Structure 1
Amino acid sequence: MSPELSFSGLSVLIARVAPHSVATVHALLRDGARVTVAATLEGLPTSLRDLAERGLVTLDPDADPTAHDVVLRGDVSTAPVPTPETAAAQGGSAVGTVTLLGGGLGDPGLMTVAGIEAVRVADVIVHDRLAPLSVLRHARDDVQVVDVGKIPRGDFTPQERINEILVEHALAGRNVLRLKGGDNFVFGRGGEEAEACAAHGIPVVVVPGISSSIAAPALAGIPVTHRALVQGFTVVSGHVPPGDPRSTLDWGAVARSRTTIVILMGVATLGAVAETLVAEGLPPETPAAVVADAGLPSMRTARGTLADIDATARREGLGAPAVVVIGEVAALDVLR
């Protein structure tokens, strides 16, 4: 938002969903506004649908503009949206580039200077739902924004199609920005996307981001390492539970590692993971914490023990996106 304006505490109606509405809504939420979008879930961009389903924005297609403090009417552009085919038809023959940008957490202030510059110069921005989307306000007015966000157990764009989108636009001579939350190479499939581009001779630029595996605990006052308590940390994915045929983790080794255990994408499987770690020898009284919506105004932290952290997180209504921390450091809050 403009530094001269503040929408904190105001009710804001987005009267029309436009290409930059996602960036506007994220900026408004960060500023403390109560946001209503005059739309239904059907046809809504994935990232806006995610905010609505998490209760962060209200959807009301019949919203009364006079009942809100501020009404924003996004003008629908009459300019044709550029596509790889139209770019090629206009004579673009040089191969473009693909920049893999790690956006860090939801707070755009945590993005690197190089990342902001990448947003400014991009022809096409392909983004996920957990990227700090308010940074899109730095993009050019004519940028093409492609929402490929994945909602847990909901709508998603297959990774193969995302790879195709990157390749198609780059081969049409466009500079493509792949914007993700966290870091593209930490459970972000950045390696797959880089390989897909390399197979077509497309140059790839990497702009690292702050991984939620360390940033989310830090914002909650939890240092993943502490000289007096632990000498390392282990980061694993919990998107499938122990015992699932798709799981390749040795949970016994994780339990015996004597390191802080950080689990990404593990809220839905936390109960099974906790039971397995206890069965593998980790004491049930081991401190544990769940940090949800890190970097966002809606950030919350639940603390407990390995034996009860799943029930505690569920009771307090914490859900994805969230990071789980298990180990002695999870009992700390060094920011108090």
Structure 2
Amino acid sequence: MPSSDQPTAALKGRGATSNQVERFSAWSREPDETIESANAAHEHVVQFKTHVTDEIARRIISRNNSPDVPFDRSINPYRGCEHGCIYCFARPTHAYLGLSPGLDFETELYAKRNAAELLRVELSKPNYRPAILALGANTDPYQPIERGLAITRSILEVLEDFNHPVGITTKSALVVRDLDILSRMAGKGLVRVFLSVGTLDADLARLLEPRANTPGRRIEAIRRLAQAGVPAGVIVAPIIPALNDYDIERVLEVAAQAGAEGAGYVMLRLLLEVHDLFVKWLHAHFPSRAAHVMSLIEQVRDGRHNDANFGSRMRGTGQYAELVRRRFELACRRNGLNMARRQLDATRFRRPDAHSAQLDLF
């Protein structure tokens, strides 16, 4: 249900153009002409400032059995994401908190400050069996508030203590802040990092991902990771038909030149509330192209706007999706990407003596 009491025009520094009501709410909002007139006359200005709430998590490792992803466990240090990517598939999760997947998702953030403490406890359990753990499976672990809170860094410190393998996905150059930890872990085959770069067009990226680093800074982060010996890769995501699909080959070429070893891609997914938010964003920024974009999305989703089926939800189906797949594979082969993927080593896992020696007696 759309919320009409918030502006539908583009908002500087934010991705969503509205704060539509979450789907579990029993009520909706209607426009107030008096408020709209006041806003227009600058008598009242609605501010959307970032607010961070501490969350005391009960568990920190999330499990999944999806055949579409190469991991069965992940950690999300934060709920919500200030990057404000309009297409983010994690937006609907804010509805579970009674908040809007729109502007609330970008501004009402939750930080799991006890994440490292919980992780240490979970990894110390005698029945825990190690396997690659994903950081960045839902919201970005290196979003802007991480610079001050350093929750992701504290998680990496625990993973290093236990020699636990981890895969990181982010669209932030802040990841290079932790090169000291990452380079040591890379020396043991315990880490790889993928930077998400959907386009090299900085202007388009600013509209799609208003508070994320520019594409150039993300490519530079790949370069610095590779130079430090950390296996790095690029994810061209999401591919949006008739909007950023022209840039697939260029992103892969530049990333490979920077030192990327691997690459992947994801077709745009318009699930649940993301659909309405994206359509509003599209009409606000690209009104003359909106119908064409949505038509092509229907072509890769069997006449619909979303596909939740395993096996096809990440790539799409049909001729257009097949063309994208072939372009991606040819560009990877031409640039030497995905030739040999280094496997992370779970055999090095150990429980630090200080935490396990006495407990092993019980």
Q: Normalised by the size of structure 2, how large is the TM-score? A: 0.27
Q: Is the strand fraction higher in 1 or 2?
A: 1
Q: Normalised by the size of structure 1, how large is the TM-score? A: 0.29
Higher relative contact order (CA 8 A, sep 6+): 2
